[in-house]
Amino acid sequence: MAKVTFNEDICKGCGLCVDACPKHILMLDKNKINRKGHNPAVMTDQSKCIGCAFCATMCPDCVITVEK
């Protein structure tokens, strides 16, 4: 069981984490706008996360912390 947390305030919504996720459980939340004015990345199904940290590896802004 892995846990992924997003520092949503500094996410720029580039979506590189979404593409990197091998389980396809990340998306940009179109219903939310953070204080920078972007749609932040969110995880849709935490239970499917394998904690590979691919998302965090590709994130340019160190938004993501991964625990396993």
Which parts of this chain interact with other proteins (CB under 8 A)?
A: 1-3, 10, 12-16, 19-20, 36, 38, 51, 53-54, 56-62, 64-68
CB of 13 to other proteins, least distance (A): 6
CA 25 to chain centre: 9
- Beta pairing class for 64-67 and 26-28: unpaired
CB of 51 to other proteins, least distance (A): 6
CB of 44 to other proteins, least distance (A): 19
Phi and psi, residue 60, nearest 5°: -75, -15
Read off the DSSP letter of residue 54.
Answer: H
